């Protein structure tokens, strides 16, 4: 069996499975909304871009990261 045939069979398998779902669709929507909140909304508020806000150019950022890695290793 060739690789495209495997992908086609997997696609058909999942397509038919999602067509016959009733409660599963609602659960998948809830999961996707929670993932969106976790990765996009919370990132904005709780994980600011430390390097971009504290260093003005790429060279100073890379020097800081390199120095931190060296300090942690020692």
pLDDT in tens, 14-55: 888 888 888 888 888 999 999 999 888 888 888 878 888 889
CA 23 to each of CA 33, 36, 37: distance values in angstroms, whole numbers, following the listed order:
16, 20, 22
Range of the structural domain that residue 47 is part of: 3-73
Considering only residues 57 and 20, tell me which one the structure prediction assigns the higher pLDDT: 57
Domains in the chain, number:
1
């Amino acid at each position: 069996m060739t690789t495209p045939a495997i992908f086609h069979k997997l696609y058909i398998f999942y397509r038919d499975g999602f067509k016959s779902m009733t409660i599963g669709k609602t659960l998948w929507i809830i999961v996707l909304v929670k993932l969106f909140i976790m990765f996009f909304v919370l990132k904005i508020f709780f994980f600011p871009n430390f390097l971009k806000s504290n260093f003005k150019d790429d060279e100073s950022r890379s020097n800081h990261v390199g120095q931190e890695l060296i300090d942690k290793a020692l």
